[in-house]
Structure 1
């Protein structure tokens, strides 16, 4: 069956331009305490901008007569650089954008809702309007969204564009590689992505965190990972007032968990520090609010801890970010893994997904590591990069995981295993981490490509030791005789 004309048009879109008031906002007027005009935006539309950029390679621009500072702040948050405020003649701006970006009109969609959008909608390849646009706009629009302005109409168009672009792509292949926004890649044929899991081993101390980052860089790790929780959500109420001996004295368990959590200031410092040193950083998020918090930062991926594999609201919130998702599978049945993977694929069949084999024991005994599960997961989920999250005390088994096909590995990382805290004992110290990284890269080099060849270094021993030499090498032996 031939594709519909509309689908073909959507496949060609490379840029979505939109009016603001009445499309990205609900058209209402709000005022702050100082009388400044504010705008109410819908989070779904913001996610639409990110998803469309990540999954279809389509950027967003705003052309509006508005001058509200709220629009500027929203554009900054969504990384929209094509921002035109106080516009009197939208067709002129539209044509300037086409010329500057070397785009054709049919490669641009425009969303509008009022009479000042008519002419630019006629120029665009696809004209779109929200459900509550004026009737005249609906008459000329190619697409009338079911959602109203400021209530998801932009997201609705974004999902149409994503679906059309993905239908034009091939499905996953067995050599699927996930490209991160940091420039690193994870998947077959790429260097093993090695993660130093700092977790909460910083003990709530930013200086310890920075020392751990320094040591991870020195060890040539690819990334450091932290954990982010909202203690009031993650700690069961009946455990809040249990008293615990800590470096801060004897305090309640909820206060202890608060002490070990970094806030916006600490993570802003970590973000700048990692960028300066050239190492990736990201987190395991343990609740929905933690994802909302982490969206302040442009980390390359999200990790889902084994304990969260069955937390579908959390998984769905991460999927809305559009960032690659790394699922860890400790303490999980095959059915639970399948359910989580199916949830991701139902959301988006081509979502950038990675799966880590893991056993959630701290430390884990060698007989319970079950490293062959790496191959089992690889066979079951072709096209999905498979990795390993280890909690054992030795290093050899993590190196072995790479020989079995792990495209990324993660180990807990500490300055000293004797430090106070729950995760230090099952962690790797800096010197050990350096050896592990070195051995992993040696194994990758030594694995080769499986094609038999005679190396230059073998020619000497061949000429000295072999009686019958193949014709292609015999002449060389006679020359040196």
Structure 2
């Protein structure tokens, strides 16, 4: 990006766009009732969300069309600056600037046809898709490498984000990551302790709140859940298998549906965690679950060990721009390397955590292999390395921190005897309290590595040492 273009983009406060030929591919689709349908790009939708979240820039649409499909799309993306059936786009542009108290140079516009040229003369920054009319491409500041409906809006949005934000994904990996709430995770910082609730709430919001309360009482830093779309994550041949559950004998797919929280429950969790002052986030197991979670402003995403090779899911998480925590259980080093190559190809400085893990529930001590923390630290310098444990007992998790883990995660339950698949390998409330306490004691005890004689040692020194250094000998009093 040249300096002039960067300066223009850095001053943008609103991005306006045409619809057909920019957000859609200018194709014509009709349903059986003759209603005009539109095909929109998910990547462009992510561009709208990322502009709002990472650059504070809203999106508006000015179009000559009156499309119900466009209205629905705008509702989903929370675009309220929506102008349909517009014949004079320049006049609408001026009205928007006046009403929002914006200068024209603070507004960008992306279009593709001759009827966009007048508004382009007014906008501070202009762009077009790769397949725009030649005369239009000749007039704009930026021509996308992508066609309309194929991500051109997203590409333009990313350029604005990059120009406006020092916190954009570019930068260097320096061993720590600052979350959006200001908490820093990495070398030299207290270990970030995650109480993994997962599905141990057993589908009960009441149990969930009790777990959050206990995590707060233990002084954990975060609680984590698991979000799935059962119809995607459960193999079709297992749907109708019958299972005894707290809800009676039901099919496996119905059981998985029972343990999933929806919008009402997660809205309550969001509000409750903010009220009691604890971070929360999820392991997302499929792309629609990421779409669902983007309704909430969580601090990061976790990728479960089972998903380390699910590149469609990884891509969807990367598109959110939120820090990503990879868990590496049941994985070969080659698989870890392949996933790292995939992420680095997206952005070599993407904010990333790596958690060493062994995916056995519970995991025997001889398979924990905690030295992998240091192996990963040496292999991926600049990336915070942590530990996700599934063992019984607390000592080995404390040991992981002593060996350099910058964050730790343990499954958490009210009672290990409760019904459910993860309770037996979980820590109970008293155990979580001891775990946090012992980790903090180890961190305090680690010190700074500089040898010194402490005040508490002076009396034993004078009582027990044969030869005392001059600096510690009592000075004779002067009379």
How far did residue 263 of structure 1 move?
1.8
* Displacement after TM superposition at 1:89 (Å): 5.7
- Normalising to structure 2: TM-score of the pair? 0.83
Post-superposition offset of 1:451: 2.6
Give secondary structure in 2 for the equivalent of 1:225.
strand
| 1:90 aligned to which of 90, 93, 101 | 93
Structure 2, unmatched stretches of 5+, are none
Residues 12, 205 of structure 1: alpha-carbon distance in 2 compared, 3 angstrom cutoff: closer
Alignment of 1:189-200 (within 5 A): 189-200=188-199
Q: Write the deviation string for residues 374-393 of structure 1: whole angstroms up to 9, x where unpaired.
A: 01001101111111000111
Whether the 8 Å contact between 1:63 and 1:84 is mirrored in structure 2 is yes
1:363/1:426 contact within 8 Å kept: yes
Deviation at 1:85, TM superposition (A): 6.5
Matched, 1:302 2:305: no
CA distance in 1, matches of 2:53, 2:352: 13
Which residue matches 1:312? Answer: 311
Paired position in structure 1 for 2:232: 233
Cα separation, 1, equivalents of 2:450 and 2:116? 62
Partner of 2:381: 382
Q: Is the 8 A contact 2:170 2:347 kept in 1?
A: no
1:334 aligns with 333
Deviations 1:428-478 (A, max 9, x none): 00011011111111222222222334444445555666643344x56x744
* Superposed CA offset, 1:404-445 (max 9, x none): 111111100000011111111110000110111111112222
Deviations 1:74-117 (A, max 9, x none): 77865779x586993635865997978xxx95x87543456776
Residues of 1 paired with 2:208 and 2:168: CA distance? Answer: 45
What is the match of residue 152 of structure 1? 151
Distance 2:394 2:160 in 1: 46
Deviation at 1:7, TM superposition (A): 6.7
Q: 2:357 touches 2:368 (CA, 8 Å); kept in 1?
A: yes
CA distance in 1, matches of 2:248, 2:133: 64
| Residue 16 of structure 2 is aligned to residue 18 of structure 1 | yes
Change (3 A) 1:202 1:136: same
Q: CA deviation at 1:45?
A: 1.4
Quickly say closer, same or farther: Cα 1:267–1:113, change in 2 above 3 A.
Answer: same
State whether residues 52 and 59 of structure 1, in contact with CA within 8 Å, keep that contact through their aligned partners in structure 2. yes
Q: How far did 1:9 drift?
A: 5.2
CA contact (8 A) 1:9 1:126 kept: no
Runs of at least 5 residues in structure 1 that lack an aligned partner in the other structure: none
Q: CA RMSD in A?
A: 3.9
Q: Which residue of 2 aligns with 1:183?
A: 182
2:361 counterpart residue number: 362
Quick one: distance in 2 between partners of 1:74 and 1:180? 30
Give the whole-Å Cα distance in 2 for the aligned partners of 1:246 and 1:453.
Answer: 60
| Match among 55, 60, 63 for residue 62 of structure 1 | 60
Deviation at 1:61, TM superposition (A): 4.4
Q: Answer whether contact 1:13 1:109 (CA < 8 A) is retained.
A: no
User: Are 1:91 and 1:119, in contact at CA under 8 Å, matched by a contact in 2?
Assistant: no
- Cα distance, 1:402 vs. partner? 0.8
The farther-off stretch of 384-393 and 263-272 is: 263-272
Residues 1:123 and 1:464: Cα distance change in structure 2 (over 3 Å): farther
Partner of 1:264: 263
> Aligned-pair distance for 1:119?
6.2
Q: Does 1:172 align with 2:175?
A: no
TM-score in terms of structure 1 length:
0.83
SS at the partner of 1:361?
coil
User: 2:390 matched to 1:391?
Assistant: yes
Contact 1:222 1:280 in 2 (8 A): yes
Residue 415, structure 1, aligned to residue 414, structure 2 = yes
Deviations 1:253-281 (A, max 9, x none): 22222221222222222122112212111
Alpha-carbon distance in structure 2 between the residues aligned to 1:480 and 1:151: 88
Verify the 8 A CA contact 1:412 1:426 in the aligned structure 2: yes
Judge conservation of contact 2:228–2:286 (CA < 8 Å) in 1. yes
**Distance between the aligned counterparts of 1:167 and 1:235, measured in 2?**
38
Question: Residue 80 and residue 452 in structure 1: after superposition, are their counterparts in 2 closer, same or farther (change >3 A)?
Answer: farther
Distance 1:77 1:408 in 2: 35
Query: Which segment drifts farther, 113-122 or 333-342?
Result: 113-122
Partner secondary structure for residue 266 of structure 1? helix
Tell me if the contact between 2:74 and 2:82 (Cα under 8 Å) persists in the aligned partners.
Answer: no
Matched, 1:283 2:286: no
Shift of residue 137, structure 1, vs aligned partner: 3.5
Contact kept in structure 1, 2:303 and 2:325, CA below 8 Å: yes
How much does 1:189 deviate? 2.2
**How much does 1:349 deviate?**
1.0
Cα distance in 1, alignment partners of residues 478 and 262 from structure 2: 71
The number of aligned residues is 467
Secondary structure of the corresponding residue to residue 196 of structure 2: strand
SS in structure 2 of the partner of residue 90 of structure 1? helix
Shift of 1:142: 1.8
Partner of 1:220: 219
